[in-house]
């Protein structure tokens, strides 16, 4: 019984180490095939604009779960880096429509490739897993994510 408990504690520790490693990997500043450094928050704004062409600042803030002010600050940086275009919306002249420049599109494409590489790493690790093992692991991860999100509540 103690061996099982120790194994469970090791899994808990290893899970935490994996989470920390993934956060550290994702937080690194990268160039994504461009000539400018792109930070974590910036690439996720780029990704959201790529997924919602013509989105406006308020809609972007809603999707990202941040304030319009925070989005505006990131957009200023992305405009200076020539990754995003902010143009007056033809349908509503009081707001801006957002799109990616060619360089912004390149950054998005390379960011998605980065995600693809990580997905392939997981797929490769799980290539010999049975359907039952995959179901258990998926259920375990979903339950743990939910419990961690609600840990302080």
Q: Which of 106, 117, 104 is nearest to 45 (CA)?
A: 104
Q: Is residue 5 part of a domain?
A: no
Strand, coil or helix: what is 52? Answer: coil
Q: Is residue 54 part of a domain?
A: yes
Can you give the pLDDT at residue 136? 96
Lookup: tokens for 53: 């062409």
- The answer to whether the pTM exceeds 0.75 is yes
Q: Is residue 17 part of a domain?
A: no
Model confidence at 124: pLDDT above 90: yes
Q: Is residue 20 part of a domain?
A: no
- CATH code: domain of residue 59: 1.10.10.10
| Burial call 25-40: b when 16+ CB within 10 Å, e when fewer | eeeeebebebeeebee
Q: Is residue 8 part of a domain?
A: no
- Count of domains observed in the chain: 1
Can you give the pLDDT at residue 106? 98
Q: Is residue 102 part of a domain?
A: yes
Residues of the domain holding 108: 31-149
pLDDT tens string 13-59: 999 999 999 889 888 899 999 999 999 999 999 999 999 999 999 99
Q: Is residue 21 part of a domain?
A: no
The mean pLDDT of the chain is 93
Model confidence at 64: pLDDT above 90: yes
Model confidence at 92: pLDDT above 80: no
Q: Are 111 and 47 a contacting pair, CB within 8 Å?
A: yes
Q: Is residue 3 part of a domain?
A: no
Can you give the pLDDT at residue 55? 95
Q: How far apart are CA 74 and CA 90, in angstroms?
A: 23
């Amino acid at each position: 019984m103690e061996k099982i408990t120790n194994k469970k504690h090791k899994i808990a520790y290893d899970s935490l180490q994996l989470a920390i490693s993934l956060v550290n990997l994702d937080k690194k500043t990268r160039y994504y095939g461009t000539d400018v450094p792109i930070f974590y928050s910036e690439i996720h704004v780029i990704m959201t604009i790529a997924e919602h062409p013509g989105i406006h600042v308020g809609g972007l803030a809603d999707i990202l779960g941040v304030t319009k002010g925070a989005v505006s600050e990131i957009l200023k940086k992305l405009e200076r880096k020539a990754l995003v275009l902010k143009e007056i919306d033809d349908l509503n002249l009081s707001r801006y429509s957002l799109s990616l420049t060619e360089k912004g599109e390149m950054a998005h494409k390379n960011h998605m490739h980065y995600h693809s590489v990580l997905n392939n790493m997981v797929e490769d690790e799980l290539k010999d897993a049975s359907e039952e093992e995959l179901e258990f692991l998926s259920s375990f991860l979903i339950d743990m994510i939910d419990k961690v999100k609600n840990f302080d509540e």
